[in-house]
């Protein structure tokens, strides 16, 4: 009998066609995302699952999967999967790094430019019919060239953002769990502790994963320490920033602006205070959303899953401890 695999959304065909050849496939077709009950039911029936960010793959769901061998994250982030529980239960967790690095860095840099040069605000003004002048002091933004970019988390995406920043003539400082010689040599990036980075940066771009250590990393104290004309960009995970503090920072002008692709709760609930503010650019979690990138993620997520089910070592394993136990 073919192994059974559950995929929690229609991922691109490039991935589904790989799976179809080898497994009995169930793709979630509901018009709302699968909830906890759905995942519990599917886990109990499946040998492997492909899930997306935000699917609540907690201990209970994992424990329901008596023949579950692998949870393949269709994302580089895996913060909604209880990796500790998966490891204890001998279930592999895999993810899709590398293939989405450039697309996500493009989006982060696009958001930086949009916030610096007030592109989204300008678009709203033109559409509303409120554009009535070209004036020497009209809608002035912030220079990018010559500005200092603080990169928080110098991983793959942090590097890729750094390369773009160099091309735009920016100075780069970074904070990360450890010093990064390549970033220092190739990007001229200077290592600083987070507190110091926030003090000197004109733009701060977040590229750290969401972990217990980074939850609420940017809160009131950090926002108050940033320059008054600085801009915060977040393409990592919403909960890395305290949204409540950020709303106050934007309203009370502790910082000049923000550009966000990720939120504590997604989709962003209607009437959220961010929606009333002109100095924040809002994007609906589009970091990896290009056709080619999503195809590559689908292939990688499918290949990771198939490798685990067939007893091979997947290319990207989050909890290798499980491998050494088998």
Catalytic annotation, pick one of 159, 237, 294, 316: 237
178 is catalytic: no
Provide, rounded to whole angstroms, the least separation between the CB of residue 52 and ligand DGY: 8
Residue closer to ligand DGY by CB (options 205, 279) is: 205
Query: Edge to edge, what strands does the sheet with 24-27 contain?
Result: 24-27, 4-7, 48-51, 70-73, 92-94
Name residue 175's beta-bridge partners. 152
Residue closer to ligand DGY by CB (options 171, 261) is: 261
Provide, rounded to whole angstroms, the least separation between the CB of residue 76 and ligand DGY: 4
Report how far residue 263's alpha carbon sits from residue 155's, in angstroms, rounded to the nearest whole number.
21
Provide, rounded to whole angstroms, the least separation between the CB of residue 313 and ligand DGY: 21
Report how far residue 105's alpha carbon sits from residue 164's, in angstroms, rounded to the nearest whole number.
8
C-alpha 171, offset from chain centre: 24
Report how far residue 242's alpha carbon sits from residue 30's, in angstroms, rounded to the nearest whole number.
32
Catalytic annotation, pick one of 159, 285, 296, 316: 285
Provide, rounded to whole angstroms, the least separation between the CB of residue 77 and ligand DGY: 3
Residue closer to ligand DGY by CB (options 11, 75) is: 75
Residue closest to 266 by CA, chosen among 237, 245, 304? 237
285 is catalytic: yes
Report how far residue 239's alpha carbon sits from residue 199's, in angstroms, rounded to the nearest whole number.
22
Query: Which spans in 67-180 are helix H?
Result: 83-88, 101-116, 119-127, 156-167
Residue closer to ligand DGY by CB (options 76, 231) is: 76
Residues that bind ligand DGY (CB under 6 A): 53, 75-77, 100, 287-288
Residue closer to ligand DGY by CB (options 200, 286) is: 286
Residue closest to 173 by CA, chosen among 149, 195, 157? 149
316 is catalytic: no
- Computed from CA positions of residues 56, 62, 67, 68, in that sequence, does the dihedral angle turn out positive or negative? positive
Q: Which residue is nearest to ligand DGY (CB)?
A: 77
Provide, rounded to whole angstroms, the least separation between the CB of residue 220 and ligand DGY: 25
Active-site residue numbers?
237, 266, 285
């Amino acid at each position: 009998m073919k192994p059974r695999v559950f995929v929690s959304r229609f991922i691109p065909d490039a991935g589904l066609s790989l799976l179809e050849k080898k497994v009995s496939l169930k793709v979630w077709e509901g018009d709302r995302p699968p909830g906890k009950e759905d995942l519990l039911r599917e886990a109990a029936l499946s040998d492997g699952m492909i899930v997306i960010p935000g699917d609540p793959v907690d201990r209970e769901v994992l424990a329901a999967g008596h023949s579950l061998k692998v949870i393949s994250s269709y994302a580089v982030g895996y913060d909604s999967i209880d990796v500790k529980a998966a490891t204890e239960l001998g279930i592999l967790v895999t993810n899709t790094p590398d293939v989405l690095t450039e697309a996500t860095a493009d989006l982060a840099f696009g958001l930086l430019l949009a916030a610096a040069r007030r592109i989204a605000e300008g678009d709203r003004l033109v559409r509303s019919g409120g554009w009535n002048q070209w004036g020497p002091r009209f809608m002035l933004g912030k220079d990018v060239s010559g500005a200092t970019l603080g990169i928080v988390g110098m991983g793959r995406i942090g590097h890729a953002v750094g390369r773009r920043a160099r091309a735009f003539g920016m100075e780069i400082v970074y904070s990360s769990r450890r010093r990064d010689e390549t970033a220092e040599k190739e990007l001229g990036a200077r290592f600083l502790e987070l507190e110091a980075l926030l003090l000197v940066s004109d733009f701060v771009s977040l590229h750290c994963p969401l972990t217990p250590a980074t939850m609420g990393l940017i809160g009131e104290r950090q926002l108050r320490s940033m320059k008054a004309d600085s801009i915060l960009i977040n393409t990592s995970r919403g909960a890395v920033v305290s949204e409540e503090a950020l709303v106050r920072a934007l309203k009370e002008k502790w910082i000049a602006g923000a550009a966000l692709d990720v939120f504590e709760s997604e989709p962003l609930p209607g009437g959220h205070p961010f929606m009333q503010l002109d100095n924040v650019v809002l994007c609906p979690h589009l970091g990896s959303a290009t056709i080619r990138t999503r195809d590559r993620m689908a292939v990688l997520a499918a290949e990771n899953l198939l490798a685990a089910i067939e007893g091979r070592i997947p290319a990207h394993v989050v909890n290798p401890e499980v491998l050494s136990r088998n």
